[in-house]
Amino acid sequence: MAYTTPRTWVASETVTAAQMNTHVRDNISYLKTQTDYALTKNLWIGNWTPRETAGAGAPAVLTAGSNYFSYIPFDKDTIEYAYANVPMPVNYDGGTITAKFYWSHPATTTNFGVRWSIAASSMTDDEALNTALGTAVAVNDTGGTAGNLYVSAATGAVTVSGSPDDFHLIHFDISRVANHANDTLAVDAYLHGVLITYGVVG
């Protein structure tokens, strides 16, 4: 779909349905697909819970001068998981999401790569809690200095399984893919939170 330069109407001119579709509806749909104009919002999730099975380490607090940062540690050798259950905002359009991972790490001399992964499922009133997760999507990032914050690039599009919509509860499942070739960090990775970006109703 291409963008159409909106025309200027004159006083008392009748606007047709076809004109409204071309100059308003279609242009909004086009702009939603463009990076510079995409209609998106962000959702911060900072309090992740380790899974009961193969879970990440217990939540802890990192002190940096007078600043304090909650985190959960992910092991360097074993794939570990954490989850969060969050109802989506009223303006969520029910589409795909992306995620950026905010993390840090303790001191180590070499090998700073970390691979993060996220999957999600949706449920609402009177729907099964055991809805299968959608396909996990991963992103690589690189640390380097102990005590610094690192922010990954956004993942590719993550499809939320079920019938996602505003106010539906989304079960987010994340992991550090420690056995992947791109995950080389030789110490725990400290996850501080995840920034979810979602499309909004246009």
Interval 91-114 mean pLDDT: 95
Sorted by where each begins, the domain ranges of the chain are 1-6+14-38, 39-200
pLDDT at residue number 119: 98
| Domain 39-200: CATH architecture, name and number where available | Sandwich (2.60)
Question: In this predicted model, which residue has the larger pLDDT, 201 or 188?
Answer: 188
pLDDT at residue number 62: 96
Interval 3-19 mean pLDDT: 85
- pLDDT tens by residue, 23-50: 887 877 776 666 555 688 999 999 999 9
Q: How far apart are CA 44 and CA 27, in angstroms?
A: 30
Using pLDDT thresholds of 50, 70 and 90, give the confidence band for residue 1: low
Interval 153-164 mean pLDDT: 97
Neighbour-count burial for 19-35, b at 16+ CB within 10 Å, e otherwise: eeeebeeebeeeebeee
pLDDT at residue number 37: 55
Question: In this predicted model, which residue has the larger pLDDT, 3 or 17?
Answer: 17
Single out the residue of 121, 72, 68, 62 nearest to residue 97, CA to CA. Answer: 121
